[in-house]
């Protein structure tokens, strides 16, 4: 690991000004589960690490009127085991406890989790060309070992999968984040946080270089109870998704009043499937309707011989998630 300087701000104000003073060469450190890993691989080589874990106000977890508030430093395990979240928002709790391992969930924070980097093996290995890591060098995944790569939201420059689960559930629940920079604060829908690769796969989100996430807001919703997060993996636990489905429903008897569907593990960003949602509204939720929604969710998927199996797998995951969510309505 390359050497770096280390700062420990105690306020958000101090953190963003330290960040702004080292444009492009500093990184915020929270749980470290992505950053320290990538630093060992030389993929990340910051000159300055700004350890924000000593900022107490980022640890809040509470409700504010009709909104759930998760501070950026709340640990994944803490939110996953929160009794209210488990009861009223299984989609959120399941997305968290089905991610990583309990040790990692005790370290990783909800703010950092949103910005988790791709697990693309070519991105992680500096011996390979990678447009995300070294812009213009080429994409080794296209035409390479792409079994786990993205099917949706790809470009000719990059097919790296967004690996997280939490953001997928948040996108389904219309969550947003509050950020802070020396220019003040702003609120960004989680659905607009991540950027598809396009011609600039190295730019993964809309945050400015001196901007930090301070909290996530999830609007309270009756859809929370009739919800689930299904994750299909190569092994039963502690693996990244081959495909995942975040689903929440509002039901009027057997008829769908409102539906939310988001996909994980198959796209370059957390993938909201609005066309699939619309197909369900007003309909009786039976197996055929669920399957049609699943199929619509994968509209436009670009596959290769190695990863085409994840389309039917993903459709089945949507069907299963809709069935589970309906059972909770």
Partner 1 sequence: MLVEKVLYCAQVKATAGRDIRTVSSDGVLDLKVTRPRELGGTNGWGTTPDVDTWARVHFRQDSNVRRDSVMDSPIDPDGLTRREFIVTTAAAITVANAPAGFAAPADGYGSTVAVDFEVNNSAVRLDVEPRVTLLDALRERLGLYGTKKGCDQGQCGACTVHVDGRRVLSCLTLAVQAKGKRITTIEGIAGPDGGLHPIQQAFLDHDALQCGYCTPGQIMSAIACIREGHTGSPGEIREYMSGNLCRCGAYAGIVGAIQQAAP
Q: Are 67 and 220 in contact (CB under 8 A)?
A: yes
Q: Which is nearer to partner 1, 80 or 173 (CB)?
A: 80
Which of the ranges 200-208, 231-239, 273-281, 293-301 carries the binding residues for partner 1, by CB under 8 A?
231-239
Binding status of residue 36 toward partner 1 by CB under 8 A? yes
Q: How far is the CB of 74 from partner 1 (least distance, A)?
A: 13
Which of the ranges 17-25, 104-112, 145-153, 293-301 carries the binding residues for partner 1, by CB under 8 A?
104-112
Q: Which of 51, 125, 258, 292 binds partner 1 (CB under 8 A)?
A: 51
Binding status of residue 25 toward partner 1 by CB under 8 A? no
Which of the ranges 11-19, 184-192, 232-240, 265-273 carries the binding residues for partner 1, by CB under 8 A?
232-240
Binding status of residue 238 toward partner 1 by CB under 8 A? yes
Using CB under 8 A, count the residues that bind partner 1.
30
Binding status of residue 1 toward partner 1 by CB under 8 A? yes
Which of the ranges 47-55, 253-261, 295-303, 309-317 carries the binding residues for partner 1, by CB under 8 A?
47-55
**Pair of tokens at residue 46:** 């910051």
Q: How far, in Å, CA of 87 to CA of 26, rounded?
A: 39
Q: How far is the CB of 102 from partner 1 (least distance, A)?
A: 5
Binding status of residue 66 toward partner 1 by CB under 8 A? no
Binding status of residue 32 toward partner 1 by CB under 8 A? yes
**Pair of tokens at residue 294:** 């699943």
Q: How far is the CB of 265 from partner 1 (least distance, A)?
A: 17
Q: How far, in Å, CA of 70 to CA of 59, rounded?
A: 8
Q: Are 201 and 132 in contact (CB under 8 A)?
A: yes
- Choose among 13, 47, 66, 102: nearest CA to 224: 66
Q: Which of 20, 22, 53, 142 binds partner 1 (CB under 8 A)?
A: 53
Q: How far is the CB of 175 from partner 1 (least distance, A)?
A: 25
Q: Are 217 and 223 in contact (CB under 8 A)?
A: no
Q: Which of 100, 150, 214, 296 binds partner 1 (CB under 8 A)?
A: 100
List phi, psi (to 5°) of 38.
-70, -25
Q: Which is nearer to partner 1, 21 or 36 (CB)?
A: 36
- Choose among 45, 5, 33, 185: nearest CA to 108: 33
Binding status of residue 87 toward partner 1 by CB under 8 A? no
Q: Alpha helix locations (H) across 81-200?
A: 83-88, 90-97, 102-107, 110-114, 121-124, 166-172
**Residue labelled with tokens 């309906």:** 326
H helices then E strands: how many in the chain? 12, 12
Q: Are 160 and 173 in contact (CB under 8 A)?
A: no
Give SS3 for 159.
coil
If you write DSSP's letter for every residue of 133-152 in order, what string do you get? Answer: TSTTS-BSSTTSS-TTS-SB
Binding status of residue 101 toward partner 1 by CB under 8 A? yes
What is the contact surface with partner 1 in residues (CB under 8 A)?
1-6, 29, 32-33, 36-37, 39-40, 47, 49, 51, 53, 77, 81, 97, 100-104, 106-107, 236-238
């Amino acid at each position: 690991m390359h050497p770096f300087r280390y700062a420990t701000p105690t306020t958000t104000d101090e953190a963003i000004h330290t960040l702004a003073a080292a444009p492009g060469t500093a990184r915020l450190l929270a749980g470290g589960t992505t950053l320290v890993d990538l630093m060992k691989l030389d993929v990340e080589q910051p000159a300055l690490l700004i350890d924000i874990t000593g900022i107490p106000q980022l640890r809040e977890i509470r409700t504010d009127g009709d909104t759930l508030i998760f501070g950026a430093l709340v640990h994944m395990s803490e939110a996953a085991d929160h009794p209210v979240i488990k009861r009223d928002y299984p989609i959120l709790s399941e997305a968290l406890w089905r991610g990583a391992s309990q040790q990692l969930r005790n370290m990783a924070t909800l703010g950092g989790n949103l910005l988790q980097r791709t697990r693309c093996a070519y991105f992680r290995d500096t011996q390979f060309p990678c447009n995300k890591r070294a812009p213009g060098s080429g994409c080794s995944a296209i035409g390479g070992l792409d079994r786990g790569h993205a099917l949706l939201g790809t470009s000719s420059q990059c097919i790296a999968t967004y690996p997280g689960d939490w953001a997928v559930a948040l996108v389904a629940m219309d969550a947003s984040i509050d950020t802070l920079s020396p220019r003040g604060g702003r609120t960004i829908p989680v659905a607009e946080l991540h950027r598809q690769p396009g011609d600039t796969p190295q730019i993964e989100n809309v945050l400015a270089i001196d901007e930090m996430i301070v909290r996530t807001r999830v609007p309270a919703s009756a859809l929370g109870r009739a919800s689930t997060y299904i994750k299909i993996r190569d092994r039963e636990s502690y693996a990244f998704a081959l495909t995942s489905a975040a689903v929440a429903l509002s039901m009027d008897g057997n008829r769908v009043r409102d539906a939310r569907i988001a996909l994980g593990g198959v796209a370059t960003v957390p993938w909201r499937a609005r066309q699939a949602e619309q197909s369900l509204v007003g309909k009786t939720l039976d197996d055929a309707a669920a399957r049609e929604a699943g199929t619509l969710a994968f509209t436009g998927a670009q596959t290769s011989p190695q990863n085409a199996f994840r389309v039917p797998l993903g459709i089945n995951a949507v069907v299963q998630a809709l069935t589970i969510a309906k059972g909770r309505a």
